[in-house]
Amino acid sequence: MIVMKFGGTSVADSEAIARTISIIGGRLDRKPIVVVSALSKVTDLLYKIADSASEGDRKAADEYIETLQSRHITLAEELLEGNPMLEEARTKVADICSELKNFVGAICALGELTDRSKARIISRGEWLSSTVICYAMNSRGIITNFIDARKMIITSDNHMKGEPDKAEIMKRVPEAVSAAFSGADAVITQGFISSTVKGEPTVLGRGGSDYSASLIGMAVDAESIEIWTDVDGVRTADPRIVPCTKNISRISFEEAAEMAHFGAKVLHPMTIEPAVMKNIPVYVLNSMNPGGEGTAILQSDKIEDGVKSVSYKENILLMNIFSTRMINVSGFLQRVFAAFSEHKVSVDLISTSEANISLTMDGNQDIDAVVGELSKFADVDVDRDKAQISVIGKNIVNLRGLLKQTMSSLKDCNVYMISQGASFVNISFVVDRSSMKDAVREVHRYLFEDKDYESGDQRIR
Ligand code: ADP
Ligand code: ASP
Ligand code: MG
């Protein structure tokens, strides 16, 4: 069995879906479990619907739902033109949208949107896309059964970012998949959406369909997990901001996990973890160029040392914590970390001195409670104008000269913090957000574009 996950751009419209279905058609001998995202931009639209509902703006919400409905009806019409299944598909889309309209209407009347209701609203994108694509696959002769991901992907009750319950998932996925494969060539399910054990709606966080795919792959012991997207694979940097990136043909699980965690949007940060548990290779492939080489993400011993990529995180915050009392250093560190752990705020980079700690963390987290706690024994300074750049590659800390060379490519901007991870695969810098893009381009140019520079007797890449 293989898992094939198709992101928003791979299912953006009827043309993209037709291409996607032909890619799936070429893999039927490997029993594909197809995991789909919502159509491109649909999740953003659903967020707008949720926002309008919470503001009680029913008119705006209804208009957005009309747009949602007509986009999916048009899609069904284009994919199923002249097919007897069209009427059924159209009715299903209309039913899903009218149920959403009623639900949103009730929220508008109530004037309050809980995370649970929000998760229910934004889960509709994947539900709609998988419904239409399932019909389209069947209409093209691929016998495909539909699986409700909410029955298999069980999470905690953190509705907008459920933490998967792996034991439950390991039990439910194989049962659901083997039942659905009976008499079928392929099965299809939704990425991103999940539920608690009590059946309340949850989602895995933005970009979570990659994570769904790897959880499913883990649960069925898949032969491979394929992440089909709109780029030729994992690249040396984000092609949206760096013009001359190169494709990376092979990369280790650790490198890919670190890249994703440190900002490379091509994979959800948690994607690699379930794959590593079962040592399942993950391939990143381009649905617009299916014959391309792509990137294989494999066990570390199959991967050579050296710099692989530069990633960045724009939305971070830098927190400086100064001890106000003369407590000993270990007591101070212990209280600081207890506060982060109690309030479930996770930290990316840390550097410490005698009575000061600097930390970076994802800027989307709610840090008020942590700051309140820390302020009882320390002065806390929070800076949201910074960004983080990470150079990633296996054993790069052993590459003499890399830090010096990278720092010299950053000569035009202030560097507020440097952190060399204990994992040996990551060296990160904190710079002003305003100079981040130029800095990423500069580091990339230096490491990948200029020349194969050498350091001592070891090549940097
Ligand atoms: P999907 O909708 O298929 O999940 P995403 O937009 O989530 O696609 O991820 C693919 C995008 O990730 C690419 O279009 C690219 O702009 C971005 N990206 C960021 N960093 C990298 C990188 N190092 N390699 C490849 N793509 C990257
Ligand atoms: N549709 C969801 C999102 O846009 C999940 C995904 O695409 O992976 O975040
Ligand atoms: Mg994605």
160-187 pLDDT, tens digit per residue, is 999 999 999 999 999 999 999 999 999 9
Which residue, judged by its Cα, is nearest atom 10 of ligand 1? 266
Ligand nearest to the CA of 161: 2
| DSSP β-ladder status, 154-155 and 193-196 | parallel
Q: How many CB atoms lie within 10 A of CB 338?
A: 11
Residues with CB under 6 A from ligand 1: 7-10, 37, 207, 229-231, 234-235, 237-240, 264-266, 309
- Whether 398 shows a pLDDT value over 80: the answer reads no
Distance CA 312, CA 316 (A): 10
Contacts of residues 43-46 at CB distance under 8 Å and 24 or more positions apart, as own/partner, are 43/8, 43/122, 43/125, 43/192, 43/206, 45/125, 46/121, 46/122, 46/124, 46/125
Tens digit of each residue's pLDDT (9 = 90 or more) over 215-266: 999 999 999 999 999 999 999 999 999 999 999 999 999 999 999 999 999 9
Q: What pLDDT, on the 0 to 100 scale, is given for residue 457?
A: 33
Average pLDDT over residues 110-117: 92
Instruction: Report the range of poorest mean pLDDT among 15-24, 162-171, 331-340.
Output: 331-340
Picking from 274, 264, 270, 261, the residue whose alpha carbon sits closest to that of residue 295 is 264
- Whether 205 shows a pLDDT value over 80: the answer reads yes
Q: Token pair of 340, please?
A: 């982060």
The set of residues, in sequence order, having a beta carbon less than 8 Å from that of 77 and lying 6+ positions away, is 86, 90
- Whether 410 shows a pLDDT value over 50: the answer reads yes
Burial of 422 (0-12, 13-18, 19+ CB in 10 A): exposed
Q: What pLDDT, on the 0 to 100 scale, is given for residue 449?
A: 85
- Whether 456 shows a pLDDT value over 50: the answer reads no
Q: What pLDDT, on the 0 to 100 scale, is given for residue 453?
A: 42
For 250: left if phi > 0, alpha if psi spans -120 to 50, otherwise beta; the answer is: beta
Q: What pLDDT, on the 0 to 100 scale, is given for residue 53?
A: 94
| Radius of gyration from C-alpha coordinates of the chain | 24
Choose the residue to mutate in 212, 238, 267, 271 for probing ligand 1, maximizing ligand atoms within 8 Å of C-beta: 238
Q: What pLDDT, on the 0 to 100 scale, is given for residue 330?
A: 73
- Whether 459 shows a pLDDT value over 50: the answer reads no
Check pocket membership of 206 for ligand 2, CB cut-off 6 A: yes
Q: What pLDDT, on the 0 to 100 scale, is given for residue 337?
A: 92
More confident position, 131 or 411: 131
Distance CA 393, CA 443 (A): 14
Q: How confident is the model at residue 327 (pLDDT cuts 50, 70, 90)?
A: low
Helix axes 86-110, 42-54, angle to 10 degrees: 30
The set of residues, in sequence order, having a beta carbon less than 8 Å from that of 203 and lying 6+ positions away, is 119, 122, 123, 159, 160, 161, 162, 192, 193, 194
- Which atom of ligand 1 approaches the CA of 227 most closely? 3
Q: What is the DSSP letter of 297?
A: E
- Which atom of ligand 1 approaches the CA of 268 most closely? 7
Ligand nearest to the CA of 12: 1
More confident position, 91 or 405: 91
